Structure 1
Amino acid sequence: MTATHGTRRPPGRTDARRPSRTALAAARRGARERLPHYWFAHRLLLVLSGLRPVHTLLGHTNDTAYDQLVRIAPLAPLRAAAAGRPAAAPVLLQVGCATPGPGALEAYARIRSGDRTRAFAFRLEQTGSRWRCAAVELDVRPVG
């Protein structure tokens, strides 16, 4: 009697040559997060929620957008305010963009901040091989 090898798989085992669904989802998520508008939305969220200093975006913004962020960031407008509890970090729910012309992206992000859904928008412009933020808009206005 000879055994046949490789004709049947044990139950619950997947084909080793094919990536799992979670691996494929992780690869898609990684590719998406390398897109300029996803990348910048995440960094902007960290700055506007007070988790990172504004200077971390210094090389990724033009002068006008950086000046906007210098005025807005100290207010931490996207920090989740929870009475009597430590604030949870805000979470990106959705990021989208439009291409109004070559070398420009107008993007938006919806975030969950505590029990509120918030929004911000920004414009990225390509200079050479780099994308830089040219403007930032929030659903709140800074004082002053």
Structure 2
Amino acid sequence: MRASTRRLAVTVLSALAAATVFTTPAGARAKGDEISVQKFGHISDDGHVTLFGTYTCRPSSPRGVQIQVTLTQDTDAQGTTRLGFGGEEAVCDGQEHDWSASAPLDLVHLQPGAASAEAKLQSASLHSGFALRVSYLAKTEREIRLEEKHR
């Protein structure tokens, strides 16, 4: 029985792929850039909102990676409120890290209840002509619940 060249190539590639899978050390996996947001955020007595989550970014990520958050809440009385905050610099070492970001509620009205959160790992760099270029390494969106946090 004679095998076609195509079938032989597929067989060889499959064997190589299987050998690669089985020679990878246990527990080793390539982690990419990821960010998450916890399902609860806090509104404190002193007028701040705080969100929490985790992130991972690779050591090969650009310098100056930051965590940026956008919080959106729809209320009947106030309409839609959007608040952007963050700026914490990320440690890009391939490990998972916790993050938190807070912002004062001086200029916006947020209340306990349902909200939407978007978190991004972003990098900004200057290019020719002083043009600012922002790139996103990871992004997530989630429906969350804001709760009052008393000290």
Give your verdict on TM over 0.5: no
Q: Name which structure has the greater RCO, CA cutoff 8 Å, separation 6+.
A: 2
Report the TM-score when normalising by structure 2.
Answer: 0.27
Report the TM-score when normalising by structure 1.
Answer: 0.28
Structure number with greater Rg is: 2
Q: Looking at secondary structure, tell me which structure has more strand per residue.
A: 2
